[in-house]
Chain A
Amino acid sequence: MNILVCISKSPDTTSKIAFIENNKVFDENGVQYIVNPYDEWYALVRALELKETLGGQVTIITVGTANDDAIMRKALAIGADEAFRIDADAKDAYYTAYQIGHFAKEKGFDLVLTGKETINFNGSQVGGMIAEVLDLPFISLASKLDIVDKTVSVEREIAGGIQVVEASIPIVISCAKGMAEQRIPNMRGIMAARTKPLQIVTPVSVEELTSYVSFVTPASKAAVKIIDASNMDELVRLLHSEAKVI
């Protein structure tokens, strides 16, 4: 099984979200980046489990700058065999997916795994876009993935339920909760990661289709109104006539 896992970074959830240059640019000052949890816990770990039972190779790829080498080392420490970084700012989802699709085209991956979404932009776009660039089927939001011969069996989320589907490799799958359990890299993994190859790829020229023009942070909430625990009629009244939600 030859698996490609798409790795992106996301700010640690406790990071302060602020913007500079007239609210046009995310303020990275003091922001700690982690591997996007969906990519790490679900896509990467499941890929490693599949490799452990079926044999093969797990390759990771990111579209990013030299600042992202640290998250790639982390992913290598968890157990990926090889890493590639397409040396470009991930401008928008199309730009990112096009780069990855172009890279993957002739490489004969059986499986391309992405996370469900990134925490920073929450677009859920890149996986489906890679599939279209590669003209492959795409199964989104998979919570379980098994492979027997060339058949993949997947559980995916649909409106208010779970669907069990089958398809053939090669295929692109986006991974959600349920796929696997988080793995903590051990000392041996961390040492091994230092000598594993992290290769830099020159991006191909392609225009992004969307741009982030500016950002706003939501106005802070008014102070909470405390209602006496013995007066639930009052809470219902407020929800009806003040908040107008019931």
Chain B
Amino acid sequence: MVLVYITSQNGISKSALEAVSYARKLSKEVTVITCGTASEKELAVLGQYGANSILVNRLINGDDQQQVTRLISDFALSLSAETILFSHDFTGKAIAPRLSVRLKAGLVSGAISLPGEDGTIKVNVFSGKAMAHVKVNTPVKIISLLPNSIPLELNESACSIKEIDGDFGATSITIISVKKPEGAIPLPEAELVVSAGRGMKGPENWAIIENLASALGAATACSRPVADIGWRPHHEHVGQTGVAIRPNLYIAVGISGAIQHLAGVNGSKVIVVVNTDSEAPFFKAADYGVIGDAFDVIPKLTEAVIKFKSSNS
């Protein structure tokens, strides 16, 4: 059987559904484990993607990863899980490695494929410039799945929800406060991303970028210098030293396409580049290119998107 750990404090994310879809491809027996206060109604959606059973611990909230590791480890052992699945997000990155040591089970971190015939799983390495086939040498396997790597698949299953308890030790981490941008789409999960760089000249010019993003229902991102000089918030910075993303569509406006920037976005399925300079290196990595001034092109593109959406709805 496959055990899937998901976070549910802020609702069920798309990457959680991806993890369940992936688990279902590995086994017909999929148990989801989570903690916190999500309602049964919220959790039930996991059943539509193939979960047969959901275990929810309401006594801990999931912020202390040492507690969560103990929780998952106990259930992995008592249910004899063959595979334990995480989403390779902020929580997966903190818990999966701990669990790997605790269970002495090999971890494939940032998986982008199902196991192949030889049992190996693909992961991105060298900042997306290559892929590796990784083999797990232990009977129990841990996989953390990179968001946006496999398609969601509906697989309606009869699904039970059960509350669980147990003693997982006192929490060693106290949450003081949380700063969350309201309503924004978390960048690593976004399917469409509009990103801009120094070509925008100044922070006051970002409205056209935000308008395009909102017309598309896209998240916004930026190049590193733009975050460094404070034109845009740090969490928008993509690239080698920022967030790595792999959306379906990445629109890069006024970004030259330095190798360190490409490292964070070259997993995108389709790349559109808008740049005044036809020699900008980004065009070599692009699927579609527009040679032109962002201040002229982007409002026109936004208009075209709005027109398309209204004629298509």
Contacts and interface: CB of A to CB of B under 8 A. Distances in A.
B270 to A, nearest CB: 5
Nearest to B176: A164
How many interface residues does chain B have, given as a range?
A: 35 or more
B186 A125 contact: no
B303 A232 contact: yes
Interface string B1-22: 0000001001001000000000
B93 A232 contact: no
Contact of B97 (A132, A141, A212, A227): A132
Interface stretch (A9-17, A57-65, A190-198): A9-17
A137 B63 contact: no
Interface in B97-125: 97-102, 104-110, 118, 120, 123-125
A2 interface: no
A140 B98 contact: no
A184 interface: no
Given A129-B101, A168-B172, A210-B134, A236 B234 contact: no
B229 interface: no
Contacts of B94: 128, 138-141
Interface SS, A side? mixed
Interface string A212-242: 1111111001101111111011011111100
Given A140-B90, A217-B130, A128 B98 contact: yes
A246 interface: yes
Given A128-B97, A239-B288, A17 B178 contact: no
Given A13-B240, A93-B97, A224-B286, 8 more contacts: A119-B127, A122-B244, A178-B234, A215-B125, A217-B129, A232-B300, A239-B270, A243-B270
A14 B259 CA distance: 7
B192 interface: yes
Contacts of B108: 210
Given A19-B130, A143-B234, A226-B291, A159 B66 contact: no
Given A122-B125, A161-B181, A226-B291, A215 B284 contact: no
B36 interface: no
B187 A11 contact: no
A209 B107 contact: yes
A207 interface: yes
A218 B304 CA distance: 33
A245 interface: yes
A201 B244 CA distance: 35
Contact of A215 (B131, B192, B234): B131
Q: What band does the interface of chain A fall in when counting residues whose beta carbon is under 8 Å from B?
A: 35 or more
B101 A232 contact: no
Interface in B279-301: 283-293, 296-297, 300-301
Contacts of A224: 273, 283-284, 286-289
Contacts of B131: 215-218
A214 B133 contact: yes
Nearest to A212: B132
Nearest to B248: A245
Contacts of A94: 100-101, 106-107
Given A122-B244, A123-B110, A129-B97, A166 B308 contact: no
Contacts of A211: 134-135, 137
B139 to A, nearest CB: 11
Contacts of A98: 101
B98 A129 contact: yes
Contact of A209 (B95, B105, B130): B105
Nearest to A216: B131
B118 A213 contact: yes
A158 B178 contact: yes
A177 B237 contact: yes
A157 interface: yes
Given A159-B186, A209-B136, A229 B296 contact: yes
B106 A210 contact: yes
B54 to A, nearest CB: 20
A79 interface: no
Contacts of A226: 288-291
Contacts of B191: 245
Nearest to B108: A210
B184 interface: yes
B284 A160 contact: no
Given A124-B97, A125-B100, A13 B260 contact: yes
Interface string A149-190: 000010011111111111110000000011000000000000
Contact of B175 (A164, A218, A230): A164
B130 A210 contact: no
B96 interface: yes
Contacts of A140: 65, 90, 93-94
Interface string A112-126: 000000011111111
B69 interface: yes
Most buried by B among A98, A215, A245: A245
